[in-house]
Amino acid sequence: MVCKKCASNNQRTFGSEVAIHVSGLKGLNKPIVWVFPRIAVCCQCGFTEFTVPEEELAVLMGSKPAPGVVVLMGDREQNKGIAG
């Protein structure tokens, strides 16, 4: 594959785990969705890409847990004192 950013042919594929969430205070009441994609990393510039599976994408777009999708639900009260 050719890198979409620098056109290098020097890419490698890795396993990964990614937590996707809404940033900022708005995200405190939204689910954190875990995905475990194979990622393509450009060894020249570091550009990385992956595809979010359909089930996880539906949770991100609708903010509702779905069967078989790994999510972490939270709210302000549950998260008090955890960060900083």
- pLDDT, tens digit, 9 for 90 and up, residues 63-78: 566 777 888 776 544 4
Domain total for the chain? 1
Contact 51, 27 (CB under 8 A): no
Q: How confident is the model at residue 28 (pLDDT cuts 50, 70, 90)?
A: confident
Residue 2 belongs to a domain: no
42 to each of 39, 53, 59, how far by Cα in Å? 10, 21, 29
Residue 48 belongs to a domain: yes
Q: How confident is the model at residue 45 (pLDDT cuts 50, 70, 90)?
A: very high
Q: What is the mean pLDDT of the chain?
A: 83
Contact 49, 8 (CB under 8 A): no
Q: Which domain holds residue 15?
A: 11-79
